[in-house]
Amino acid sequence: MIPRTALPDHVRRHPGQLAIDSLHWRGYIGRMAENFNTTFEHELKRLEKRVDALVRVCDRLQEENRSLKQRQDALTSERAGLLQKNEQVRSRVEAMIGRLKAMEQGS
């Protein structure tokens, strides 16, 4: 047991317990609230920075996605053009082969 004279002024001894007087308790709660607010504000700013970073990543990905879609459309058009040219060349080669065979048979 702690002798009564050894206790600080802000602590009063009640039967079976120690109690902190209300003035000291309010100061303690105030410091806890300040610590909580400081920690909360710190965490809030940290989260805000992370959200901002995520927004930047999303913006960059949307731009990249748009660019990739444009590139895909261009490549699809180019492919369609090449397929069409390929078909034209095939038709011309087949026509030339047909003429060569006709010339062979005529000789």
Residue 18's beta-bridge partner residues?
A: 13
Q: Which two tokens stand for residue 51?
A: 């959200």
Q: What is the pLDDT of residue 9?
A: 52
Q: Report pLDDT digits (tens) over 37-78.
A: 788 889 999 999 999 999 999 999 999 999 999 999 999 999
Q: Report pLDDT digits (tens) over 69-107.
A: 999 999 999 999 999 999 999 999 999 999 999 999 986
Model confidence pTM above 0.75: no
Characterise 9 by phi-psi region: left (phi > 0), alpha (psi -120 to 50), beta (else). Answer: alpha
